[in-house]
Amino acid sequence: MPPSDRSAAVSAHLPLKPTALQILLSLAGGQRYGYAIIKEISQRTEGRVELHPGILYRFIRRLDEGGLIEELDHRPVPETEDDQRRRYYGITDLGRRVMAAEVERMGEMVSWARDVEIAS
Amino acid sequence: MPSPSPSREADRFPPGPWLVAAYRLSLRAFPADFRAAYQADLLQAFEDAVRDVRGAGTATRLRFALRSLGGAVRQGLAERWGRLTGRSGPVPPKRPGTGIDEASWGTRLELALKELRLAARSLARSPGFSLAFVLILGLSLAGATTLWGTIYHVSVAPLGFEDEDRLVRIWYRTRRASTDSDFALSDGMLTTLRHDAASFDAIAHVMITGTTTVLDPTDGPPQRVSRLRVSENFFQVLGVQPAEGRTFGSGDEERDVVLLSHGAWERRFGSSPDVIGSALLLSGRAHTVIGVLPEGFRWLDSPDAPVELWTTYALEPSRFSPFYFFSVARLRPGTTAVAAQSEVEALFQRIHDEHFPELTRRPDRLATVRTLKEDFLGPAEGRIRILVGALALVGLLGAGNVSMLLLIRAVGRGRESAVRVALGGGGPRIAAPFVSELVLLLAASAVVALGLSGLALTTVRDYGAVGLVRADAIGVSPAVLAGGLAAAGLVAVIALAVVALALRRWGGRAVLQAMADSVTGGRLPRSLRAPLVVVQVSVSLVLVAGAGLLGRSFIHLSTVDTGFQTRGVVSGHLSLPLEPFWAPVPEAEDPSDPVLRIRPELAELRSSLRQRVAAHPAVEEVTLAKHAPLSGRYGGFTPFRPEWYEGPEGEMPGGRRWITSNDVDPDFLPFLGAELLEGRWLTWQDDAEAPPVALISEALAESMWPDGDAVGSRYRSTTPRLGPEGRVERTVTWVTVVGVVGSLREWGLEQPEETVYRPLDQAYPTGGIVRRSGRGPRLRVFVRYGDEPSMAVAHLRDVVAELLPGVPLDDVRTLDEMVGDHLREPRFYVTVFGAFGILALTLALGGIAAVIGYGVSRRRREIGVRMALGAWSRSLFRLVALETLFLTGLGIALGLAISYLGGKVLEGLVYGIPTRDMPTLVASAALFMLMALLAALVPTRRALEIDPVRSLRHE
């Protein structure tokens, strides 16, 4: 998974909306169900990003349709401990590549900005 | 625990099941397929979140609840919006072959064009439907646009002055008869305000009426032009910049200077810039032209006669009556009209105590300050609100009818929709044909509406709204077009919503089901079309009943007994110059209270006017008075106090107040055909030497002498006299009431007026003193003509030109025309409501016919079967007519209830009958029922002509 992956399949998804990137980052850290994604993002960003379930699932639908994430057939946690209704999601290979490309794109952006000394 | 999961949930979640229910409800903002996929997850996440905030404080939980519900609605709508606009969010849609957006837009456009072509072809196949749709929608859109165009130009559009929110008008409010009225201001009031009122940057004055002035050009005959006199700061206060030269400035009130209106400059001076600086001879006085006003400048005090020349007028600071001036003031920045009003109130209080001590009856307040726009356009506001109501109703009717037609269309296309569903088309694929047909039909209707409303607006401007403020501006303008477009958009949205609702209920298999049901008439569509008919009938009944009420009121008003005969009388107004009728009084010492002496020339003029005018075969009779009846605010007023009243202030019945007054020749009232109820007429013996006498109107006699002893009683009047050492004194004179006449309509047609009539000889006695005003005496000549007014008027003009060279005869009108002027506004509203009543009736009947016709066509088989089994025509008629009667009856009941409850809205517009006039309501309902049955007749006849054999083969 080279960081300079700019294949057509990847660049079609760029740039990513910040929310989409957050969701991909969250799933890159492990398979999760909806509310767990919200909690993880909230904790990681120290409460600066609080997603409403509505917007979360709007993005999940699109990321799913775009093939960046997928719904899991198996459950990572034993059935008994968990509610029947929960659906778990994981990041796909394409999702990882898009995420990496987006992070790199943003990194480039930051370094260009530093070059003209508007950020430090 | 006996109950299943819901109550377990309620135990688990402190906010209770209502919050979950509310959340579930707000999730409905999402599209259905989204909910199908994610509703369970969304609810799960919500439950998780609820668990997390369980321990938190009430405020946090409340915030959480609001955020959850609000967020769900917002996200749901955003999802729908995203799909509508084709922006599907973070990930571009997977569409094989087209990776880039432009191509997808191109494809979309292509598809849309294809749908439009299909729609056009399918519409062409059913010309009846298309025509009906375009006509109905075109008519209602034209109606809405016309109403809006009228409302906008009469009431909404800005006046066009600089920073016009700060422009206000100040009124002196006083008690006239039993109501409080706003009066114009006097010289002294304006001067006091200018000195002492801190709320205003500047106060300008403008005379309440313009005059006709004779303009003597260097070549050619004298011309009559209208002139208005204003203060030197008038145009500065309004912020009007000249088109040429300059406007008035400081010192111009002392100079003879004149400004030209743009129209006068074009017509009379060929737009020549050389006119600036030249001299104009106005009624014998040379005035220097200093400038030309801009083209768009419009002054609304005299909507009928545009002012051509503007000159200045300097106030007499010591005069506190009469009230000859309207004011225009610019509020100091940061001050409101309300604040200004309380300041002016205090100042008027002072003036009132000092100068009108005899007026004890106080109105609710003494000052009114309102913005200029409100002042000009406010009087029509109540009526405008009603027009807006009519506008909404007409729009509603149009939308209702259009939805009904579309629904009928949708059912007609049930088979095609079913095929589309069967082939895997989703909601949008079913909706597409309707949307594209609607787009085409809307476009066609808009074209029809534009043409019709342009025509209608021109008609309203030229005939309907004559005399309404700013009526001449009515026409198609960008704002009007925007309004029309908005109306069309609204109609489209409503119609689409109704159709979408129907499609959702029928969608897919249900459409097939509905077709299968068609043998029995189909249950689903009926649940939708029944309310449509009921609402339509009720709405149009409200309009028809309103039109009926206004119509009856108008008939009342136009046949009201004015108290005088109007036929065959023409009159003209003379504004006499000071010289030679009033002479300065050198011995009067006090320069702050200037007076003039009445010279014998005035009495001589009156007598020779009467003789010379009468000496023509076209003239049957002639008489003189100061004012005409129905002069209203422009007439005369006098403070009135009967002799019997000596008690404390404010206890007199009706109170002491301003009373309408007129000074007349003794034969004036008999000339007008007034009725003498008691006592005697005024006579020529009631001259300056005789004791002062007056006739009073019945209304005044009733309120001041309720015991019927008015004749022989006296009331108090004050007359200025020149005392010793040249001081002006007010002396009290007691005027004897010698007769009571039937009340004349002096103010408006609505109510009889309390009026005092005094002989001109006593009001203007030769050698008497009058306080100086800028004007000379005013007189009105009344002539009864035989057959042709024009001969009499020509003769009258000749006599005036001979006796008073340079003095124009103004405002020449017949009494019929004067009464007609008071009927203009009611006529306008009757016409508007009548037209919309007819439109509404047509729309509703069209709707009824369409629904019944639809019912018949859907029951072809049933009817055919019944006929084959030998059913009578009559029972078949009952089958069809019953539905009409039932639905119309429901609508009528609802409409009557609305009309009855909403009748109050028409208060002030309806005269002579109650606003809940039962006969009108019942008549409207009966008319409606009759028309509905007629409308049902056509489709019913069609049903009776059904050939059983063919109808059974029909499907």
Residue B674 is given by DSSP the state P
Q: Is B563 helix (H, G, I), strand (E, B) or coil?
A: coil
Cβ-based contacts of A34 with chain B (< 8 Å): 41-42, 44-45
Measure in Å the smallest separation between the Cα of A111 and chain B Cα atoms. 25
> What are the distances in angstroms from CA B274 to CA B292, B351, B927?
11, 47, 66
Closest CB to B44: pick one of A55, A68, A83: A83
Measure in Å the smallest separation between the Cα of B28 and chain A Cα atoms. 11
Helix-helix angle B509-516:B478-506, to 10 degrees: 80
ipTM summary value: 0.84
Cβ-based contacts of A12 with chain B (< 8 Å): 92, 99
CB B806 within 8 A of CB B283: yes
Where b means 16+ CB within 10 Å and e means fewer, B603-613 reads: bebbeebbebb
Q: How far apart are CA B699 and CA B788, in angstroms?
A: 35
Measure in Å the smallest separation between the Cα of B427 and chain A Cα atoms. 20
Q: How far apart are CA B513 and CA B505, in angstroms?
A: 11
- Among chain B residues, the shortest Cα distance to A55 is held by B75
Which range has the worst mean pLDDT, B163-177, B228-242, B729-743, B849-863?
A: B849-863
Q: How far apart are CA B662 and CA B759, in angstroms?
A: 9
Cis-peptide into A15, omega within 30 deg: yes
User: Number of CB pairs < 8 Å for A and B?
Assistant: 85
Cβ-based contacts of B48 with chain A (< 8 Å): 35
Look at residue B41 and tell me whether its pLDDT is greater than 50.
Answer: yes
> Would the pTM of this model clear 0.80, i.e. be above it?
no
Contact B42 A53 (CB under 8 A): yes
Cβ-based contacts of A84 with chain B (< 8 Å): none
Pairing relation of β-strands B285-292 and B257-260? parallel
CB B205 within 8 A of CB B185: yes
Residue B241 is given by DSSP the state P
Q: How far apart are CA B627 and CA B607, in angstroms?
A: 18
Q: What is the pLDDT of residues B536-556, one digit of tens each?
A: 788 888 888 888 888 888 888
Contact B74 A66 (CB under 8 A): no
Closest CB to A34: pick one of B41, B78, B99: B41
Asked if the C-beta of B7 comes within 8 angstroms of chain A's C-beta atoms, the answer is no
Contacts of B751 (CB under 8 A, 6+ apart): B745
Mean pLDDT for B781-806 is 87
pLDDT band at B526 (very low <50, low <70, confident <90, very high): low
pLDDT at B130: 83
B86 burial class (0-12, 13-18, 19+ CB within 10 angstroms)?
exposed
Q: How many residues does chain A have?
A: 120
CB B846 within 8 A of CB B400: no
Contact B44 A17 (CB under 8 A): no
Q: Which two tokens stand for residue B87?
A: 């922006």
Look at residue B429 and tell me whether its pLDDT is greater than 70.
Answer: no
Contacts of B623 (CB under 8 A, 6+ apart): B610, B664, B665, B667, B668, B671, B781, B782
Residue type, B149: G
Q: Which two tokens stand for residue B699?
A: 């209304």
Residue B580 is given by DSSP the state T
CB B313 within 8 A of CB B206: no
Asked if the C-beta of A86 comes within 8 angstroms of chain B's C-beta atoms, the answer is yes
- Tell which residue, B868, B642, B845, has the closest CA to residue B734: B642
Look at residue B300 and tell me whether its pLDDT is greater than 50.
Answer: yes
Asked if the C-beta of A13 comes within 8 angstroms of chain B's C-beta atoms, the answer is yes
Cβ-based contacts of B74 with chain A (< 8 Å): 54
Contact A54 B74 (CB under 8 A): yes
Look at residue A3 and tell me whether its pLDDT is greater than 50.
Answer: no
Closest CB to A16: pick one of B37, B71, B90: B90
Q: How far apart are CA B403 and CA B401, in angstroms?
A: 5
Measure in Å the smallest separation between the Cα of B431 and chain A Cα atoms. 24
Contact A57 B90 (CB under 8 A): no
Contact A65 B94 (CB under 8 A): yes
Q: How far apart are CA B475 and CA B456, in angstroms?
A: 9
Measure in Å the smallest separation between the Cα of B91 and chain A Cα atoms. 6
Helix, strand, coil tally for chain B in percent (to 5): 55, 15, 30
Residue B391 is given by DSSP the state H
Which range has the worst mean pLDDT, B137-146, B199-208, B524-533, B557-566?
A: B524-533
Asked if the C-beta of A91 comes within 8 angstroms of chain B's C-beta atoms, the answer is no
pLDDT at B467: 52
Q: How far apart are CA B860 and CA B946, in angstroms?
A: 7
Q: What is the pLDDT of residues B452-495, one digit of tens each?
A: 888 888 877 776 555 566 666 777 778 888 887 887 787 777 77
